[in-house]
Amino acid sequence: MTRAKLDFVSSSSLTSAQKAELLKVDNKDLTFTHMYWELASVGSTSRDILVYGKANYEFTYPEDEKWEKGMVPTVFSLLPVLRITDRRPSSKFEGKGLVLAEASVIDTFLAGRFGLLGDNEWESLAIQTFYSNIHYLRERCFSSVLDVPSELRKKGRDNYMNVQITKFCEDHEYHLKDNGSNGHYVGNKLSLADIHLSNIIHFFSTVTWGKMALDRFQQYESLWKVKENVDKVPAIAEWRQSSIFKGHEEASIAWYANNAIPEDEPEA
């Protein structure tokens, strides 16, 4: 099946120079349209950033039937996709915009737009380094636990929890202590890495393995403090109590219940 494609490098709508110019437009004059499944998962961090930044945003979801028929345009046949358009009346960009794909690119782009990549180039690189390692932890979950035969999922889950998550927590606890155990990865300000870690902890302790994962993360005080700091950010706290967010969470729990070993799965 050939899926409908979105223009990415094409100049049929805007030239490369015009796209670069559009990216210089102030946030308040842009609309960010974010498409992802009605789930938490990979789209969560970019949603959090748009909420935190008080952006002009819209969260959209593909229709299942259209998706199955390849009628939902994407860049790589995957989601999320972010559309950026100029909302100013009579702007030369009116009705036109650009598209970004890949969760890590979208997250990092939005973090830069909304002040979550530190105060200088070095801090930006450090934050992106922590973010990348956090992001990879989620990807290893898919390869270790989900994308395996069902009879191997429990073994994969146990190895993932006992080896990979433990090593991740030890590594990140070390660096967070090195930053003074102040609840932030870099300096003393909220960053992309902080929000992404909060999402990963929430994902594992709410959506997939509940108390088992929660207990593991809570053993690491500096790491847990990052989650608590993010949870206290007013805009993010309000968003995570919203009916929309809870709908994403409930749908995720239902999906992963059928695709991941629950924490109380009996021994074979």
Instruction: Tell me the CATH number at 64.
Output: 3.40.30.10
Q: What is the pTM of this model?
A: 0.93
Count of domains in the chain? 2
Let me know if 242 is exposed, middle or buried by CB neighbors in 10 A (0-12, 13-18, 19+).
exposed
Of residues 60 and 267, more confidently modeled: 60
Percent of the chain surpassing pLDDT 70 = 97
Same domain, 169 and 250: yes
Q: What is the pLDDT of residue 257?
A: 78
Mean pLDDT, residues 23-42: 95
Question: Is 126 a domain residue?
Answer: yes
**Whether the Cβ atoms of residue 131 and residue 199 lie closer than 8 Å to each other:** no
Among the listed ranges 38-42, 145-149, 172-176, 205-209, which one has the minimum average pLDDT value? 145-149
Domain holding 245, by residue range, is 121-257
Q: What is the pLDDT of residue 264?
A: 62
Question: Is 7 a domain residue?
Answer: no
Among the listed ranges 2-6, 147-151, 188-192, 198-202, which one has the minimum average pLDDT value? 147-151
* Half-sphere exposure for 110 (CA within 13 Å, toward CB): 37
Could you write out the three-class secondary structure of 15-72? CHHHHHHHCCCCHHHEEEEEECCCCCHHHHHHHHHHHHCCCCEEEECCCHHHHHCCCC
Same domain, 92 and 159: no
Same domain, 84 and 182: no
Backbone angles phi, psi at 211, to 5 degrees: -60, -35
Same domain, 142 and 96: no
Backbone angles phi, psi at 46, to 5 degrees: -65, -35
Question: Is 218 a domain residue?
Answer: yes
Same domain, 128 and 77: no
The 30-35 sheet, strands edge to edge? 57-60, 30-35, 81-86, 97-101
Backbone angles phi, psi at 149, to 5 degrees: -55, 145
Same domain, 163 and 98: no
Question: Is 193 a domain residue?
Answer: yes
Average of per-residue pLDDT values in the chain: 91
* CATH code, domain carrying 185: 1.20.1050.10
Q: What is the pLDDT of residue 156?
A: 80
Question: Is 55 a domain residue?
Answer: yes
**Given the structure tokens 């997939």, which residue do they identify?**
208
Rounded to an integer, what distance in angstroms lies between the CA atom of residue 42 and that of residue 51?
16
67-124 pLDDT, tens digit each? 999 999 999 999 999 999 999 988 888 878 899 999 999 999 999 999 999 999 999 9
Q: Is the pLDDT confidence value at 204 over 70? A: yes
Let me know if 111 is exposed, middle or buried by CB neighbors in 10 A (0-12, 13-18, 19+).
buried
